[in-house]
Structure 1
């Protein structure tokens, strides 16, 4: 028999989702059979698959110990540094400045130095994240950036914050503004452009079409030229959709590729300026959460990153 007391971070999940995370070695078919046979109970009473667990609930799983091995908490994050550039932090979220060259997360690979690992280590040192006290939750990124893009990334410290911030992203209530340098000026000083986007998973490359094509998804990108030195342009980008490589591919498509971009950019210009990583930074975040959200206090904030090095170099 296994027993769990639901804490705040586990609250709100369906009981089958919680059990799958808390007892990952328990086959799902067996879990569903146990629920049907009333061998999984909430507060001593039978439950259905769709029942949700609440803080303080006692979950009892009547199964042999050898087939119900509890989740072994991954502590590999302790092998990486806890040194992160915190831009904003409260009890619910942490916003950090990701440097160029650091992956946001592992993407299934065994690497142990990623942004989320560093955040976990940082929170562990502050005693805000203790894996042994969590059955199913770990701090998680609400957004991510490409390895060679720098800037602001938001992570949730609690399950409630993760749910609300992710919903804000899905509904367009988290506004992300980027700064980039383009090797030629965009067609207009300011515009909102639309197109269609397809990702080639095998090549990690995207294609852009001006017209609808089967398999392509619509994208929308806003831009505004902030400064120009005659050749290079400093451009502010507002993302209305968030597709893979959207800024880099879309700006290249309109004839204003991002400096340093080796996938979609101008290789000759990159060599001329000696820049071989995209001059692109997630520079500003603004929240527009519903007033009923427990996290609507974030709406008062305007969070900006440090001025990126590429901006200082060409436009200081």
Structure 2
């Protein structure tokens, strides 16, 4: 018999999903059969698998040691865990507690990898957890910690990383419901003197990974809303803006500002390539600057050095 006690990482999930992670080699029908026969119990009671787990719950699995080892794949080494363990983990940490890490992502690195050869902030943060003995191979088999928001490769700033399932659910809900306020800073072309809220409709071309903005809705468009205010005018040529991302669509800030004649300096996809070359700017000057949660906590990522020439 194996006795398992639910910790924070595994709470607030369905019992059957947890069992599937603990017993990856067992079929779903086998797990439900064991529940019906009370060979698997929750807090000494029969369960059907739909229950939500809470910290401190006790699960008993009445298998022989050999059967449990076979169903749990205990003899199988998690190759992904050991691959990530060897990756760099020198992330810039703005804040960390038992549930999350707030990371200042540099420009030039992806938030999450798109291909097996990529190294992203996500893998670097997992590697950091392994290096600091916060994530064991066994825990990794049950839950993969992950970033909760994505920034474009060439956008720097705040990335939220959830250490456990409960944090991932809470952060995911906050981002989805927009109960947290995200502010960006950018250097844009032109002189802006007033606060503005702009709206429109965004359509994405999947083949080019580029979006377009229009004032009229179309069948494939989504509504967008962006607010901004000037922080500093840099002569008549440029403005340092603070931008409130009210909706969160792909390339929204970059394309929306470009559509009103104020593209981000250094943006090679939506920007002014002639001025980008004249200024010899390295990368786009767009930075996820701060995030404020509805409980009043606010975290700030200071601007990278590339902004210094313009502020």
The two structures share one fold, judged by TM-score above 0.5: yes
- The TM-score with structure 2 as length reference comes to 0.86
- Structure 2 residue 264 is matched with structure 1 residue 258: yes
Q: How does 1:91-170 map to 2 (within 5 A)?
A: 91-107=98-114, 109-111=115-117, 113-133=119-139, 136-170=142-176
Contact 1:6 1:53 in 2 (8 A): yes
Consecutive unaligned residues of structure 2, counting only runs of 5 or more, are: none
Taking only aligned residues, the RMSD between alpha carbons, in angstroms, comes to 2.6
What corresponds to 1:294 in structure 2?
none
Whether the aligned pair in 1 keeps the contact of 2:14 and 2:51 (CA below 8 Å) is yes
Unpaired runs of 5+ residues, structure 1, are: 290-298
The normalised TM-score by structure 1 is 0.85
Which string of whole-angstrom CA distances, capped at 9 and with x for unpartnered residues, describes residues 12-50 of structure 1? 211222133333444445545655666654345432242
Task: Report what 1:202 is aligned to.
Answer: 207
2:248 is aligned with 1:247: no
Q: Distance in 2 between matches of 1:181 and 1:238?
A: 14
SS of corresponding position for 2:8: coil
Match of 2:224 among 219, 222, 226: 219
**Separation in 2, partners of 1:149, 1:178:** 10
**C-alpha separation between the residues in 2 aligned to 1:26 and 1:256?**
57
- Cα drift, residue 3 of structure 1: 6.4
Following superposition, the deviation at residue 308 of structure 1 comes to 2.2
**What count of residue pairs does the alignment treat as equivalent?**
303
Alignment of 1:73-88 (within 5 A): 73=78, 74-88=81-95
Distance in 2 between the 1:252 and 1:83 partners? 34
Cα distance per residue 1:130-174 (max 9 Å; x no partner): 232455223321222111111111212233222222221122121
Alignment match, 2:50: 50
